[in-house]
């Protein structure tokens, strides 16, 4: 018995020493967010911030909102204000998914299947802008600057055009797409309305992508509030870049850049929640928001309608979306293909 007790004490001492060394090693390691599943990333803003999940400010800083302001699920949401006349950056309040090297979905790879979902709340005071689009989410390419390439329009953007949700796409297989932002031309454009906007409630969207800058090799599917409304848009989406694109969310109004393009409004406010992204062939149930079409809390009082400002003289805007030659509005629940414009 005395021998067994001595062995036990010796083992316990060695175990405690090893545990102390191991704890020291852990403390010395860099700290990154822990992804529950490296193929699924959810951002519900329930920590009261956004940096820990890889998002970084772009332009003005979005705000974290808390009930009784509109919240899709939980206690917090992302508040996106934009004031053309007062904000430091007149045209952009966004987050970019570029802030953490450890993020498993920081830069998307071509020819993989990706999923992206979010819920949008437009306050009852939201007014249609029939002269300038609001880009609420986009896939932004990374130019090959060593080849003289410049930043281009987003290869995919989800936006509001007047009183309709819509998506726009671009594809270009050339090794260098553009070297001058004043001369942006692409091999292919796509545009499709996703139906009328509604205020005072949450609207949820799920996007499935297979990105490819090659013609007819990409894919996009879209669900709105659980109903599939775009089915297998099977044309290319993307640019021939060394590095894959990254997500941005918020509000980007390119016509509000200095130069004062015409617009029907001068202030914007909306909310975002239940942001999720994933990789894989069938991840709808993993990313789909749970609050689409849910009625809102009481109207927010700090978003009072602003009278239209006088229309200034138009000026070139490098990021304006080319107008589609023919806009096809959905007449059935499922749209088989987007309208495509080919660049000569």
Q: Distance between CA atoms of 159 and 97, rounded to whole angstroms?
A: 18
Mean pLDDT along residues 141-162: 92
Mean pLDDT along residues 95-107: 71
Alpha helices in 193-312 (DSSP H): 284-287
Pairing relationship of beta strands 164-172 and 238-239 according to DSSP bridges? parallel
Q: Distance between CA atoms of 64 and 47, rounded to whole angstroms?
A: 10
With bands split at pLDDT 50, 70 and 90, how would you rate the model's confidence at 112? Answer: confident
With bands split at pLDDT 50, 70 and 90, how would you rate the model's confidence at 154? Answer: very high
Query: Rounded to an integer, what is the distance from CA 343 to the centroid of its chain?
Result: 26
pLDDT at 295 exceeding the cut of 80: no
Range from 1-5, 285-289, 340-344 carrying the lowest mean pLDDT? 340-344
Report whether 241 contacts 144 (CB < 8 A).
yes
Q: Residue 23 has what pLDDT?
A: 44
* Fold classified for 44-342: Jelly Rolls (2.60.120)
Q: Distance between CA atoms of 278 and 229, rounded to whole angstroms?
A: 20
Any idea where the domains of the chain sit in the sequence? 44-342
With bands split at pLDDT 50, 70 and 90, how would you rate the model's confidence at 61? Answer: very high
């Amino acid at each position: 018995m005395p021998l067994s007790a001595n062995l036990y004490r010796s083992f316990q001492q060695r175990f405690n020493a090893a545990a102390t060394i191991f704890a020291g090693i852990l403390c010395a390691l860099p700290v990154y967010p822990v992804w529950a599943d490296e193929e699924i990333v959810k951002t519900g803003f329930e920590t009261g911030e956004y940096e820990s999940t890889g998002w970084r400010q772009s332009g003005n800083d979005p705000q974290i909102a808390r009930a009784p302001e509109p919240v899709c699920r939980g206690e917090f949401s992302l508040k996106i204000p934009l004031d053309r006349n007062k904000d430091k950056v007149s045209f952009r309040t966004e987050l970019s998914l570029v802030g953490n090297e450890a993020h498993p979905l920081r830069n998307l790879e071509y020819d993989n299947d990706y999923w992206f979902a979010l819920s949008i709340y437009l306050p009852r005071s939201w007014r249609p802008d029939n002269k300038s689009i609001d880009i609420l989410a986009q896939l932004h390419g990374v130019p090959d600057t060593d080849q003289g390439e410049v930043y281009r329009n987003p290869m995919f953007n989800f936006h509001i055009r007047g009183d309709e949700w819509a998506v726009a796409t671009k594809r270009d297989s050339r090794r260098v797409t553009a070297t001058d932002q004043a001369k942006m031309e692409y091999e292919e454009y796509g545009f499709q309305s996703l139906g009328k906007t509604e205020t005072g409630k949450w609207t949820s969207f799920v996007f499935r992508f297979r990105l490819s800058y090659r013609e007819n090799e990409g894919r996009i599917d879209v669900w709105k509030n659980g109903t599939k409304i775009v089915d297998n848009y099977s044309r290319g989406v993307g640019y021939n870049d060394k590095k894959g694109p990254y997500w941005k969310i918020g509000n980007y109004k390119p016509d509000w850049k200095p130069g004062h393009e015409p617009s029907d409004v001068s202030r914007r406010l909306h909310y975002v929640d239940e942001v999720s992204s994933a990789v894989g062939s069938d991840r709808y149930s993993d990313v789909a928001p749970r609050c689409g079409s849910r009625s809102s809390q009481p109207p927010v009082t700090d978003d009072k309608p602003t009278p239209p400002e006088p229309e200034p003289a138009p000026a070139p805007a490098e990021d304006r979306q080319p107008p589609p030659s023919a806009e096809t509005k959905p007449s059935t629940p499922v749209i088989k293909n987007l309208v495509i414009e080919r660049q000569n």
